[in-house]
Amino acid sequence: MRLRVGAAMPVKGGRTALVVAEVREGRDTRGRLNYEFHVGHVERVQPFTVDAARDRVVAIVDALRDQRPCVMVDVGSPQGLALRQQLRTRLGDLHRPHAYPGTGDRPQLFSTFLQAYSDGRVTFEPGLRQRADLDRALVFYMGGGVLKDGVELPSEDEALVVATGLALYWPMHGGRAVPLPRPAKEESP
């Protein structure tokens, strides 16, 4: 099973967002690779510290250790750089966390998510905690508006979007993916 953990610390402060997704892989009738994603965990970490974020990522990775999850960290902020640095020595025998370059590439990251979502290649675990927060963040991301139901900061919503994108980023990397069913080839008349 190919699992991805996306971690994004809000650039302007707030709770760190963590998203875990499974990558599924298959080939279409022409032999091209296709990917589908199943989001199974969404979390906002409290307190707002690098240490708390590090401890939650390590706890998630330890729980999934047999699946050898891959961690992607948004390093577009000093906090993200610090988180990645702290994780480098705390993930044991797993490879070091990957650094996502951050702020300049976020629209492309979001676009990649939207394309997969609109194609029906992204599913969510039923009853997913924080799903309503994630949906709101995805709707208002880059739209200029922010709907507030509680204490969320705009940068926290942005972190949710970025962490979701990171969980889907670089899908060919990692352990063996669960195979998608192979589509039936169309017969010629």
Give the residue extent of every domain in the chain.
Answer: 2-178
pLDDT at 153: 54
Residue 154 vs residue 55, higher pLDDT: 55
Query: What are 12-69's pLDDT values in tens digits?
Result: 888 999 999 999 999 888 888 899 999 999 999 989 899 999 999 999 999 999 999 9
Rounded to two decimals, the pTM is: 0.86
Q: Answer yes or no: are the C-beta atoms of 161 and 137 closer than 8 Å.
A: yes
* CA pair distance 1, 66, nearest whole angstrom: 9
Provide the pLDDT confidence category of residue 146 given band limits of 50, 70 and 90.
Answer: very low
Tokens of 174: 């990692």
Which amino acid type is present at position 20?
V
Whole-angstrom CA distances from 51 to 47, 90, 113, 148, 187 are 9, 12, 28, 27, 57
Structure tokens of 99?
């650094």
**Is 3.30.420 the CATH number for 2-178?**
yes
What integer is the mean pLDDT of 129-148? Answer: 72
- Other CB atoms within a 10 A radius of the CB of residue 68 amount to 16
Helix axes 154-168, 106-118, angle to 10 degrees: 60
